[in-house]
Copies of this chain bind each other. A is one copy, B any other.
Amino acid sequence: MNLQEAMAIYLPLIENGLRRALASPRPTVAQHHGMMHYHMGWVDEQLEARPAAGGKRLRPLLCLLTCQAAGGDALTALPAATAIEILHNFSLAHDDIEDNSPTRRSRAALWTLWGVPQAINVGDALFAIAHRTLAETLQQGVAAKHVMQLTQAFDATCVALTEGQYLDMSFEQRMDVTVDEYVEMIAGKTAALIGLSAQLGASLAGAPDWMVLHFREFGRHLGLAFQIEDDILGIWGDESATGKSASTDILEKKKSLPVVYALGSDAGPDLQAIYRRPALTAQDIAPVLRLLDAVGALGYARRMAEEAHQSAQAELAATGLGEAALTAVRELAAMLRGRSS
């Protein structure tokens, strides 16, 4: 099965799984769940059915594809895949508040519409429901001992997410962030959850531990590459493709990889002088871009992303699985690599 065929089958299953997991249990909390449904892209701000972009469901798709690649029945991994996507959406809901980002997927963010208190609580509910959904793996006939292993991996990822987010926020005040620290940050904030997606899929296929670890590392490297490419798009991306204005990350003074690299290079002092200002304006973009260009920050970031992609491929090869089994997984990795948004 190639990626296109897999997406045609799995994406509707994922969406059904998400809808079932997030259904309101009773009328008194219907609005609480309605806000979740808005965040998932199913309803508008009046909570009336009007589909919007709800995200690409990459993580649950990866989970199902790795399960299938490792010889399992992808359906066994559906609760885990659903739990992962809900966990991802929990982190987006809180990130938007923490980053003061008023929009998400070209619509108003949760907190913009319903205020910070409700948005925090909706995020917490998504966090709680993600855990509840993972436990439903028991109903797939998977042994409790196995589900507990998945639960512990899931919990470790949740902790890693908050560590990555802590580091990201702590970087805002600092000019001396190293590339190693940056990698630690995105390992927690982005790569851990993509690694988990591949890990749980392979584990639920009954793959041996060593193979599960290769899948996890595949996902982790893919996640690192994904985030670095996101950093590149955040500075040099095509506005019409990314949906957020180019250079947004400069205006927000984000310590993304190109900036971290340049701050530690010859351009460091000049870049610091700009980044120490309380706020940047459109006029600061060109000087920042010139400094990044002068030290080859784009090339550096591209090489880092390329290395992460190659590591991901090496991990995939180390699973020892044949090309036919890995087709859809490889295509998904290639799709992420080629994306412009």
Contact = CB atoms under 8 A, between A and B. Distances in A.
B121 A94 contact: yes
Given A121-B162, A132-B152, 6 more contacts: A28-B181, A28-B184, A31-B170, A120-B123, A124-B127, A135-B152
Interface string A149-174: 00110011011011101110110000
A186 to B, nearest CB: 13
Interface of A: 28-29, 31-32, 94, 97-100, 116-118, 120-125, 127-129, 131-132, 135, 138, 143-145, 147-148, 151-152, 155-156, 158-159, 161-163, 165-167, 169-170, 181, 184
Contacts of A162: 32, 121-122, 124-125, 128
B124 A94 contact: yes
Contacts of A159: 125, 128-129, 132
Copies in the complex: 2
B117 A98 contact: yes
Contacts of A122: 162, 166
Contacts of A143: 144
Given A144-B148, A163-B32, A155 B135 contact: yes
A148 B166 contact: no
Nearest to A29: B163
A165 to B, nearest CB: 5
B98 A120 contact: yes
A124 to B, nearest CB: 5
